[in-house]
Amino acid sequence: MNTYEKGMLAPDSLTGKTIAITGGGSGLGLSMAAYFLALGAQVSICGRKEEKLASAAAELQSRTGKSVFYFPCDVRQYDEVEAFREKTIEALGPVNGLVNNAAGNFLSPTERLSHRAFDSVVDIVLKGSYNNSLSFGKYWIDQKIAGNTLNIVTTYAWTGSAYVVPSACGKAGVLALTRSLGVEWAKYGIRTNAIAPGPFPTPGAWDRLFPQEFMQQVDIPSKIPVGRAGVHQELANLAAYLMSDFSAFIQGEVITIDGGEWLKNGGEFSWVGDLIPAEMWDMVEALIRSKSGKS
């Protein structure tokens, strides 16, 4: 097993933490929940589908031997978010952590989207994140709890991206929320940070962004300098570190975990390695030197 596939922190690193994870019933939210439980945290998860949450809770129980609290909630609805927070406190006691992980997304040319489709994604991503940040933040300030929020964004929050425009708009807003509250609420002892993952295979993302039918034509590892997609445990390691007190001096920050993908795609000459094989470089160098007249 590679080192990055193993848990990184000591087993009591999240003891005393009670963490609410939106969208914790599948994918990366589920992986974070499993690792937080293993590190001693209590965990509460929400999502829209009760059956999915129940089966996630059963899976977490069998993987970690620990139970989670789950509550069906649409993060776009503020009253449901308040209920999620209140029911979590009733079940587990004071909550001091929040992971805004729930998201909606699908690949589409923007001109094909109805305004309802645009709303749907932006509302899950941005409204869902600020609804939870507001609900938990007001509670933390009122109860003098040193809360900690982790927002899951993505690298196109700052580059933008064609064909996932509502998601890019929503994630850019969540990045602004992270940086703004990281400053404004620090005086209450509240921390706010974000993780920007590159590709981490999950059914939720892959079915909507890289459907099998055309997946064969998209070589994801070739887009990533380290040559592979992310492994859930390495994201869970980073998330656990940010939810722990070991990262107490990290505030308002976004940490990228993408194997160098966005820099490669943004760099003017990143494509050169794909075009010019190693054995051609003697010839290319000689050609370039000849232009300076010093070959």
Q: Which residues are catalytic?
A: 156
Task: Enumerate helices (H) and strands (E) in the chain, giving the number of each.
Answer: 14, 7
Residue among 29, 147, 166, 259 that touches ligand NAP (CB under 6 A): 29
Binding residues among 231-290 for ligand NAP as defined by CB under 6 A: none
DSSP category for residue 41:
-
Tokens matching residue 202: 């999950």
Query: Closest approach of Cβ 114 to ligand HXC, in Å?
Result: 3
197 near ligand NAP, rule: CB under 6 A: yes
Q: At what angle do helices 78-92 and 128-143 cross, to 10 degrees?
A: 50
Q: How far apart are CA 239 and CA 150, in angstroms?
A: 8
CA atoms within 13 A on the CB side of 214: 6
Q: How far apart are CA 270 and CA 276, in angstroms?
A: 11
Q: Mask: binding to ligand NAP, 73-112, rule CB under 6 A, as x and -?
A: xxxx------------------------xxxx--------
Q: Which among ligand NAP, ligand HXC, none contacts residue 114 (Cβ within 5 to 8 A by kind)?
A: ligand HXC
Query: Closest approach of Cβ 75 to ligand NAP, in Å?
Result: 4
Binding residues among 138-197 for ligand HXC as defined by CB under 6 A: 154, 167
* Secondary-structure breakdown of the chain: helix, strand, coil percentages, each rounded to the nearest 5: 55, 10, 35
202 near ligand NAP, rule: CB under 6 A: yes
| Residues contributing to the site for ligand HXC (CB under 6 A) | 103-106, 108, 112-114, 116-117, 120-121, 154, 167, 199, 204-205, 208-209
